[in-house]
A and B are shown apart, each in its own frame.
Chain A
Amino acid sequence: MSDPKRNPGYEAVDALLAAAVEPEPLPPVEQRRTLRESLGLSRAQVAAALGVGPSTVGGWENGRDPAGEVRGQYAYFLDAARTKLADRSPQPRPCVLCGGPATEEIEGFPQHLDPQECARAAAPQEPEPEPVRPAPEAQPEPEPEPEPLPKTKTPAPTRTAPARTPTPTPVRSRPPGQSAPEAALIGRAVEQALAEHQGDVEAATAQLVRRAIPDAMALLDACRTGGRYDVIAHPWVPDILRKQSSRGSDSIWEARPKWTRPELPPGAHEVTALDINGAYLSALKTHLPIGQLEHSSGFGHDRRRAGVHLITPPDWHHDPYLPNPLGNRDEPGPLWVTEPTLRLLLRLAGPKYGLCEPPEIHESFTSGATENLLEKFRTALRDAREQAIQADDETTVEYVKAMYAKFVSTMGESNYNRELYRPDWMHLIRSQAFANLWMKAHRAHEQGLSVVRVMGTDELHVTGDWRRVFDEGRGVLEVKVKDVYTVGSDDAAGLTEELPDA
């Protein structure tokens, strides 16, 4: 043991160690396939050249690493492929993800391999509408770190400028209502009606409003093609959602707000009555139960489900300046509320707001929920509405309004729309509109306006400089002024000019 080198066994080990070389570095897994495909080579071709099976190559491109001699060959192939690709000086094409110039492609679709590159490519694209801007300034953002892969990098602005001449269209933000096939349905109906009535706008509008319900259902069907979930139209409905009599109501409390501030500080106040545009249209985006409602009790709240809940509401101590999110309920005790109301209450009980105690949930009828069930439908209507407002086309505006309003009001047990019997959805969408209005009132209050009155679906009366908080206009994110009136009198000295904080 004194001199190990004498022993031939150790020499063999030494030889073995000398033969074991550092494994060849390989590019990351996700690039291997791209490199092979950009050269137009099939797996079988590569496999034949390397003397392995095609599925082995497939394995290497999906996370396994080759070992031994063939690893060196594979690394050589990938390296050579990369060099060859770089020599080809690829023409950047618009990336399908962000629209920026991309040199890589996956399965024939040009795109960036890294989301960061998309962000980088999108950044210099922003100032494109300004044609006066000189080219070198177009990419003023200094790169925060050196590019790891110089060949896959976004090309320098001097090179992109000619390549981008066919302006790449961003996929996400298509012009409102143009390329969506659903929106064409709306446009076609309006055209037909106008043609039928020889341009008599009033008669055409009346006809369109009359056929709004079947048209809305047709639009919903068109919007559901390729959708992940079926619209289940006739599920079993628990008794609490059934009307007690033909004219009566069911047991659900929708939390419609009807609140007036008990008292304002002395002095005259100019109150602006604001109207929320398309409140029910925006409320179509809410967590809707997909299937049949199932009963459960005592399990707290599951965020992945939606439905109706029997709760004991928390006490509300902010009535002098903020409405109760439950609306003005006269009777105390437990009541059936819908998902949006419950979520609003839970939100207000959370650490961010801390306005009340969390409600106590006793039992629930819920089903797995999604917010996207009516999303395409809503977007199609919203885009059609926006486009019509821009084009000053009141016929389409009225038609779209009738479509969503009647869709919501007849989706329950109405005889005017027998295609859809979802009283639960009707309540949820209405409650969502009320919850949205409540959040707007809260925002006004937070920003220092005094909320004077919150009424119905879309009425919000405030004092103070509301233009600071809300934008005026006809879009769904904007508000319009319904009325301006004065309350109180100037008798109280000195306080008239300053509007007090709530």
Chain B
Amino acid sequence: MPEHTLEFGKYGARGVRGSEAVFRRLDDLAGFIVSPVDSRRGLLARLHYLTRTDHARAAARAAGLTVTDRTLKAWLDGRQRPTARNLQRIEDAYRTVRRHNVAQHLLRRLNSRGGTRVELHPLNQSQVPRPRQRVLEYRSLNIRRWDRIVQAWSTGDTGALDDAWVDQIVDLGSQWGQYEYVTNVGFAA
């Protein structure tokens, strides 16, 4: 598509890809455990989340936390501390499982009552030379079907999320390419 931005930031524009902002926003709405994983409190909270039921254990294993039950028990009892690499694995597994668990509730809320209104805040061009600046307005649009977006987010598939997102913002009209990169995407659920 000709509207795609090829060399973003060549003239000093600043912003993030719209799909990335959506990913972050959905993460905000999902509400992860706030304490960091390298604190004892944060680690225990994550481990409890991942080991509460057999179902959760299976999901954690599927999400890449492939350690033995014995190691998990040692971590939970505090007899052993996970290595840095395992801490990262715990964090990744926790986020994946949490996203997967929250997805269907989030999707129901986003799709309810005729969809959700999304605010698009244009990219920051304060560092762009004046002749290259263009008029960018704050835009908003209503997205009725969030299925593809939430599905891509819950599996962590950024490429699919980007495709799904671009398919939605094409509805902005012929100038949708100006909103491929934004400072913020806002919506509530």
Contacts and interface: CB of A to CB of B under 8 A. Distances in A.
A421 B187 CA distance: 10
B138 A291 contact: yes
B34 A234 contact: no
Interface string A219-237: 0000000000010111110
Interface string A254-298: 000000000000000000000000000000000000011011000
Interface string B147-189: 0000000000000000000000000000000000001111111
Interface string A417-446: 011010000000000000000000000000
A421 B189 CA distance: 12
A415 interface: yes
Size category of the binding interface on chain A: 10 to 19
Contacts of A292: 121, 138, 183-184
Nearest to B120: A234
Contacts of A89: none
B31 A415 contact: yes
A246 interface: yes
Contacts of B188: 233-234, 418-419
B186 A246 contact: no
B29 A418 contact: yes
A294 B126 CA distance: 9
B34 A246 contact: yes
Contacts of A245: 34
B69 to A, nearest CB: 32
B29 A236 contact: no
A180 B112 CA distance: 29
Contacts of B119: 232-235
A232 B140 CA distance: 9
Given A235-B121, A291-B138, A421 B186 contact: yes
A292 B15 CA distance: 14
A234 B187 contact: yes
Contacts of B185: 234
A234 B183 contact: no
Contacts of A235: 119, 121, 184, 186
Interface string B85-128: 00000000000000000000000000000000001010000100
Contacts of A230: 138, 140
B187 to A, nearest CB: 7
B123 to A, nearest CB: 10
Contacts of B189: 418
Among A233, A234, A419, the one with the most B-chain Cβ atoms within 10 Å of its Cβ is: A234
A236 B188 CA distance: 14
A419 B186 CA distance: 10
26 contacts: A230-B138, A232-B119, A232-B138, A233-B119, A233-B186, A233-B188, A234-B119, A234-B187, A234-B188, A235-B119, A235-B121, A235-B186, A236-B121, A236-B183, A236-B184, A245-B34, A246-B34, A291-B138, A292-B138, A292-B183, A292-B184, A295-B126, A418-B188, A418-B189, A419-B188, A421-B186
Nearest to A217: B188
Shortest Cβ-Cβ A-B pairs, 10 listed: A234-B186, A236-B184, A418-B188, A236-B183, A246-B34, A419-B188, A234-B119, A292-B121, A236-B121, A235-B121
Q: Label chain A's interface by main secondary structure.
A: loop
Nearest to A413: B28
Interface in A240-256: 245-246
Contacts of B183: 236, 292
B22 to A, nearest CB: 12
B103 to A, nearest CB: 17
A236 B25 CA distance: 11
Given A232-B119, A291-B138, 4 more contacts: A230-B138, A232-B138, A294-B126, A295-B126
A234 B183 CA distance: 11
A292 B136 CA distance: 13
A408 to B, nearest CB: 18
A246 B138 CA distance: 29
A245 B138 CA distance: 29
A295 B119 CA distance: 21
Contacts of B140: 230
B120 to A, nearest CB: 10
A415 B29 CA distance: 9
Contacts of A295: 126
A217 to B, nearest CB: 9
A292 B188 CA distance: 17
A419 B185 CA distance: 13
A235 B185 CA distance: 8
B130 to A, nearest CB: 16
B30 to A, nearest CB: 12
Nearest to B137: A291
Contacts of A415: 31
Contacts of B184: 234-236, 292
Nearest to B29: A418
Interface string A17-48: 00000000000000000000000000000000
Contacts of B187: 234
Nearest to A246: B34
Nearest to A290: B138
Contacts of B29: 418
Interface string B28-47: 01010010000000000000
Among A233, A246, A415, the one with the most B-chain Cβ atoms within 10 Å of its Cβ is: A233
A242 B34 CA distance: 14
A163 to B, nearest CB: 50
